[in-house]
């Protein structure tokens, strides 16, 4: 049995390694020595996932709760501020506090035991769930060395991502199993979880590579932005469909013999937040297995769509779902089918998938997103104008012959939105003054830049949040703090916000040479991770287009 201490030491070595190749070798070498169950858990732990994709939401432990359990064990509950000021990150703070104990226990935890405890913490639901979760957590921390506690904390709050991206983990799995990296990536598209990828590659018969609908989430297919319907025709060719772009939450709905599981865009299971959708699907398609892709929208009592924020309340207040179900009903619109009757359909063309979707949804009385097959650009533009006039966010353009590529932002789907906004990542924040004293309230916004996990600043804003949101954001960012210089707190990139702006300016202030003017946060994108943010390249392209659009200044 490999000890959790060995795992923690490997992570420590990884955190001191810069080269991607070396990281893959260190991590892959460690995984290769473990039996399959422990390797599966360790692969997840290394990228900061406590549980298989889809199950994590059930852990339901905040950074604050984790900190309190550690601090109370060492009688240092009132020293948080000093320790956080000294620590480089959350895991470091937990390690420092755990070193205050008089004696350190010998390392006895195994990787398998830690994995089992994580499952138990997630399984604790219903009355007294919170107390049970905290007891289990305390049980783990009592037995942990300070180094083990550091990595337990990092896994629990998903801080590991920073050190080990999913991409490096796939390289490590290729190294550990000897499989070609292209195969590892393809299997990951299907499985969406490095632990399961290892299982498939090590030849575990219980893990299907394809075929059979296993009720496990697939990564959703993503779209690239396009400015106009004419651009979409130029990029996709004339063989395309246009669909209403609904402003709600992406859902992937799995069903088998009336048993339903619903997953979010980030592959968390959200069935408990959407009981009426689960009931609807179970009632309408009771005897078949299926995977549908669609959007859930909050609606008023007349069934008219409401703002996205309304829907997000559902996901945050899981305990109040029954009340919210009455107050803010939801409506489901399907737009794709990824599997039906035990057959995976993702390699079929979209035109065929849509035909199957239409027939199935029609027979079951389920709604589809509004759609048209434009015969020419003019018809396409009319559909777009009508969609905007009806209040939709825009339209999606989809190539009729495109396959469903899980997790890929390819050339199959384009999103055409009216107002241009960018999805950016908060990488730092300034302490506010005056009315905003005590809050981290001026946010440094960054776009993806080159390699995975790299971000470049393009602007700052303190506009767009309510007082409550400032308070919540301050707490969230402090848990992600990596350093502080002057009045600026630097944080691990984790929070994605949608930002509106007036235009892009040339700017020597930022390394990328561009800055957003009059940036304002439109909404928090809880459904997105930093890898989904817009890139410096796409902002650069937008900057060029803006120059083309601007008439020359007289004189
Ligand atoms: P964005 O969130 O701006 O990147 O736009 C992509 C998202 O639009 C998808 O992840 C879906 O949640 C949503 N969406 C709304 N309507 C559709 C549709 N008809 N087809 C695909 N995605 C849609």
| pLDDT value of residue 177 | 94
Burial class (CB in 10 A: 0-12, 13-18, 19+), 182: exposed
Please enumerate in sequence order all residues whose Cβ is within 8 A of that of 74, keeping only pairs 6 or more positions apart, or say none: 97, 98, 100, 101
What mean pLDDT is predicted for residues 504-526?
89
Closest ligand 1 atom to residue 398 Cα is 20
Is 90 exceeded by the pLDDT of residue 295?
yes
Go through the domains of the chain in sequence order and give each one's CATH number: 4-166 (1.10.3260.10), 222-417 (3.30.470.30), 421-546 (2.40.50.140)
What is the 412 CA–ligand 1 centroid distance (Å)?
Answer: 13
- The residue with tokens 């000021």 is 85
CB 321 within 8 A of CB 275: yes
Q: What is the CB < 6 Å shell around ligand 1?
A: 223, 243-246, 250, 265, 295, 335, 369, 396, 415
| pLDDT band for position 210 (cuts 50, 70, 90) | very low
pLDDT tens digits, residue range 77-111?
888 778 887 888 889 999 999 999 989 999 999 99
| pLDDT value of residue 452 | 67
Is 70 exceeded by the pLDDT of residue 412?
yes
| pLDDT value of residue 552 | 45
Report the SS3 class of residue 297: strand
| pLDDT value of residue 554 | 42
Query: Which of the given ranges, 126-130, 203-207, 355-359, has the highest pLDDT on average?
Result: 355-359
Residues 437-464 as b/e (b if ≥16 CB within 10 A, e otherwise) read eebbbbbbbbbbbeeebebbbbbbbbeb
Please enumerate in sequence order all residues whose Cβ is within 8 A of that of 349, keeping only pairs 6 or more positions apart, or say none: 400, 401, 402, 403
Six-digit token string for 279: 């009931």
Is 80 exceeded by the pLDDT of residue 306?
no
Residues 71-99 as b/e (b if ≥16 CB within 10 A, e otherwise) read bebbebeeeeeebbeebebbbbbbbbbbe
Which residue(s) pair with 457 in the sheet? 446
DSSP 103-151: SPPPP--BHHHHHHHHHHHHH--STTHHHHHHHHHHHHHHH--HHHHHH
Of 245, 398, 460, 481, the active-site residue reads 245
- Residue closest by Cα to atom 17 of ligand 1: 245
| pLDDT value of residue 161 | 58
Distance from C-alpha of 242 to C-alpha of 244, rounded to nearest angstrom: 7
Nearest C-alpha neighbor of 214 from the set 232, 230, 196: 196
Kindly report the backbone phi and psi dihedral angles of residue 491, in degrees, each rounded to the nearest multiple of 5, phi listed first.
-130, 160
What is the 396 CA–ligand 1 centroid distance (Å)?
Answer: 7
| pLDDT value of residue 111 | 97
| pLDDT band for position 342 (cuts 50, 70, 90) | confident
Closest ligand 1 atom to residue 369 Cα is 19
| pLDDT value of residue 555 | 36
What mean pLDDT is predicted for residues 168-179?
94
Mutate to test the pocket of ligand 1, among 219, 222, 223, 294 (most ligand atoms within 8 A of CB): 223
DSSP state letter for 1: -
Distance from C-alpha of 546 to C-alpha of 179, rounded to nearest angstrom: 46
| pLDDT band for position 42 (cuts 50, 70, 90) | very high
In angstroms, how far is CA 193 from the centroid of its own chain? 13
Is 80 exceeded by the pLDDT of residue 56?
no
What mean pLDDT is predicted for residues 10-34?
92
Between 152-161, 363-372, 527-536, the lowest mean confidence (pLDDT) is in 152-161
What mean pLDDT is predicted for residues 311-329?
76
Is 90 exceeded by the pLDDT of residue 319?
no
| pLDDT value of residue 422 | 93
What mean pLDDT is predicted for residues 285-309?
85
pLDDT tens digits, residue range 232-244?
999 999 999 999 9
CB 28 within 8 A of CB 174: yes
Is 50 exceeded by the pLDDT of residue 61?
yes
Distance from C-alpha of 221 to C-alpha of 254, rounded to nearest angstrom: 16
Is 70 exceeded by the pLDDT of residue 549?
no
Is 80 exceeded by the pLDDT of residue 347?
yes
460 among known catalytic residues: no
| pLDDT value of residue 550 | 52
The residue among 88 and 29 whose pLDDT is bigger is 29
| pLDDT value of residue 206 | 56
Mutate to test the pocket of ligand 1, among 217, 220, 248, 250 (most ligand atoms within 8 A of CB): 250
| pLDDT band for position 75 (cuts 50, 70, 90) | confident
| pLDDT band for position 551 (cuts 50, 70, 90) | very low
The residue among 210 and 62 whose pLDDT is bigger is 62
Nearest C-alpha neighbor of 130 from the set 64, 49, 74, 78: 64
| pLDDT value of residue 209 | 47
- The residue with tokens 């892009």 is 504
Instruction: Strand 409-417: give its sheet, edge to edge.
Output: 222-226, 409-417, 394-399, 240-245, 371-372
Residues 208-230 as b/e (b if ≥16 CB within 10 A, e otherwise) read beeeebbebbbbbbbbebbeebe
The residue among 319 and 417 whose pLDDT is bigger is 417
CB 144 within 8 A of CB 109: yes
The residue among 552 and 338 whose pLDDT is bigger is 338
Distance from C-alpha of 198 to C-alpha of 206, rounded to nearest angstrom: 12
Is 60 exceeded by the pLDDT of residue 546?
yes
| pLDDT band for position 17 (cuts 50, 70, 90) | confident
% of the chain beyond a pLDDT of 90: 56
State the CB neighbour count (10 A cutoff) for residue 257.
10
What is the 79 CA–ligand 1 centroid distance (Å)?
Answer: 45
The residue among 189 and 103 whose pLDDT is bigger is 103
What is the 411 CA–ligand 1 centroid distance (Å)?
Answer: 14
- Average pLDDT of the chain is 88
Kindly report the backbone phi and psi dihedral angles of residue 236, in degrees, each rounded to the nearest multiple of 5, phi listed first.
-105, -15
| pLDDT value of residue 419 | 67
| pLDDT value of residue 474 | 93
Distance from C-alpha of 243 to C-alpha of 331, rounded to nearest angstrom: 17
Six-digit token string for 356: 């199957």
| pLDDT band for position 442 (cuts 50, 70, 90) | very high
Between 74-88, 181-195, 315-329, 486-500, the lowest mean confidence (pLDDT) is in 315-329
What is the 101 CA–ligand 1 centroid distance (Å)?
Answer: 51
Closest ligand 1 atom to residue 525 Cα is 2
| pLDDT value of residue 263 | 92
């Amino acid at each position: 049995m490999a000890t959790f201490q060995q795992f923690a030491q490997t992570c420590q070595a990884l955190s001191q390694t810069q080269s991607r190749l070396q990281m893959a070798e260190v991590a892959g070498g460690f995984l290769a020595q473990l039996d399959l169950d422990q390797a599966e858990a360790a692969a997840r732990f290394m990228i900061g996932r406590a549980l298989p994709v889809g199950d994590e939401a059930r852990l339901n432990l905040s950074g604050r709760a984790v900190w309190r359990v550690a601090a109370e064990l060492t009688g240092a509950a009132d020293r948080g501020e000093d320790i956080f000021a000294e620590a480089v990150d959350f895991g470091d703070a937990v390690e420092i506090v755990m070193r205050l104990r008089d004696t350190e226990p010998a390392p006895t935890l195994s990787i398998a035991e830690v994995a089992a405890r994580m499952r138990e913490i997630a399984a604790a639901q219903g009355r007294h769930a919170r107390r049970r979760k905290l007891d289990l957590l305390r049980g783990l921390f009592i037995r942990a060395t300070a180094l083990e506690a550091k990595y337990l904390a990092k896994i629990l709050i998903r801080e590991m991502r920073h050190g080990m991206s999913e991409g490096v983990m796939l390289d490590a799995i290729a190294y550990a199993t000897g499989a070609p990296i292209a195969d590892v990536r393809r299997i990951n598209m299907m499985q969406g979880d490095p632990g399961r990828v290892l299982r498939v590659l090590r030849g575990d018969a219980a893990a299907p590579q394809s075929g059979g609908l296993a009720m496990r989430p697939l990564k959703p297919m993503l779209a690239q932005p396009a400015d106009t319907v004419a651009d979409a025709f130029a990029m996709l060719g004339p063989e395309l469909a246009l669909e209403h772009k609904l402003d709600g939450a992406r859902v992937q709905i799995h069903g088998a013999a009336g048993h339903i599981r619903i997953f979010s865009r980030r592959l968390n299971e959200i069935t408990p937040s959407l009981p009426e959708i689960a009931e609807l699907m179970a009632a309408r398609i009771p005897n078949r297995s299926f995977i549908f892709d669609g959007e859930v929208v909050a609606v008023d009592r007349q069934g008219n769509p409401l703002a996205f924020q309304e829907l997000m309340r559902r996901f945050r207040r899981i305990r109040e779902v029954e009340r919210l179900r009455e107050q803010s009903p939801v409506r489901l619109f399907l737009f794709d089918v990824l599997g039906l009757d035990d057959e995976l359909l993702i390699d079929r063309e979209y035109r065929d998938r849509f035909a199957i979707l239409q027939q199935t949804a029609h027979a079951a009385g389920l709604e589809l997103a509004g759609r048209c097959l434009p015969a020419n650009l003019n018809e396409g533009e009319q559909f777009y104008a009508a969609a905007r006039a009806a209040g939709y966010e825009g339209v999606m353009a989809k190539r009729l012959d495109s396959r469903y590529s899980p997790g890929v932002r390819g050339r199959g789907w384009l999103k055409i939105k009216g107002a241009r906004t960018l999805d950016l990542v908060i990488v730092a924040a300034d302490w506010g003054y005056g009315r905003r004293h005590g809050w981290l309230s001026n946010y440094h916004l960054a776009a993806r830049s080159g390699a995975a996990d790299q971000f470049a600043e393009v602007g700052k804003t303190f506009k767009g949040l309510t007082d409550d949101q400032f308070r919540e954001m301050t707490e969230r960012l402090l848990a992600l703090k990596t350093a502080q210089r002057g009045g600026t707190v630097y944080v691990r990139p984790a929070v994605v916000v949608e930002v509106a702006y007036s235009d892009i300016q040339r700017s020597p202030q930022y390394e990328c040479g561009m800055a957003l003017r009059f940036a304002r946060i439109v909404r928090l994108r809880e459904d997105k991770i930093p890898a989904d943010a817009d890139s410096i390249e796409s902002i650069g392209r937008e900057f060029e287009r803006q120059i083309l659009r601007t008439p020359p200044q007289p004189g």
